[in-house]
């Protein structure tokens, strides 16, 4: 069986969902995309998590969203805003 390429529409829709809510976990995002009527019309039977992750990682927008998500997390220890601000 020949592998089917993941359509660009799936990646574009995934990025659209992630820009609205960057905290969506990837498995939940795949479940949302699997029920999307436009994607169902394309005949995509299954969306692989690793393939979607690889295709998203190539996009600069996804990298920016990941950086922002990391920066917005709570820090485990106190860090001053400027050096020597103790």
Backbone angles phi, psi at 4, to 5 degrees: -90, 140
Residue 75 has pLDDT above 70, yes or no: no
Residue 39 vs residues 14, 33, 61, 76: alpha-carbon distances, Å:
11, 7, 21, 41
Residues 42 and 62: their CA atoms lie apart, in Å, by 23
Q: Using one digit for the tens of pLDDT, what is the confidence trace for 21-65?
A: 988 999 999 999 999 999 888 888 788 999 999 999 999 999 999
Render 31-71 in DSSP notation, one character per residue. Answer: HHHHT-HHHHHHT-----HHHHHHHHHTSHHHHHHHHHHHH
What are the tens digits of pLDDT across the range 7-26? 899 999 999 999 999 889 99
């Amino acid at each position: 069986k020949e592998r089917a390429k993941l359509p660009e529409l799936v990646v574009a829709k995934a990025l659209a969902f992630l820009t609205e809510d960057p905290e969506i976990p990837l498995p939940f995002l795949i479940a949302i995309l699997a029920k999307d009527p436009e994607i169902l019309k394309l005949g995509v039977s299954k969306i692989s998590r690793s393939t979607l992750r690889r295709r998203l990682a190539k996009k600069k927008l996804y990298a920016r969203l990941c950086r922002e998500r990391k920066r917005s997390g709570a820090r485990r220890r106190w860090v001053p805003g400027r050096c020597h601000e103790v």
